[in-house]
Amino acid sequence: MMASNPILPVGPSQGSFILPEPKAGASGEGSFAGLLREAVTQTEGLQHEADALVEQVARGHSGDLATTMIAIEKAQISFQLMLQVRNKVVEAYQEIMRMQV
């Protein structure tokens, strides 16, 4: 029989995508917008990191292709998540607008 290794979860120390805790103001206003802004900033940072690693590999300065591929996948998954959040927000807005008619 072939021995299998368990699948280990990716923790925050490995750079996984983590939504920050919302920071509510006195009346709780702006926390959702702040949360979205933070998530977009984090997604943008992952994209820049992936771009820098791709450029290093292309120039021959780094031979760590696995790390580069992981960074690309992290950036892609983060972007896909943000796209789905945007789609859900647009869907919710359209549903609210239909209720007002």
pLDDT in tens, 40-64: 999 999 999 999 999 999 988 876 8
Q: Is the pTM of this model over 0.85?
A: no
Structure-token pair, residue 87: 């789609």
54 within 8 A of 69, measured Cβ to Cβ? no
pLDDT of residue 29: 54
pLDDT of residue 11: 46
- By C-alpha distance, which of 7, 11, 87, 18 is closest to 46? 18
pLDDT of residue 33: 85
Q: Which residues of the chain have pLDDT under 70?
A: 1-30, 63, 101
- By C-alpha distance, which of 55, 50, 45 is closest to 67? 50
Rounded Cα gap, residues 62 and 23, in angstroms: 39
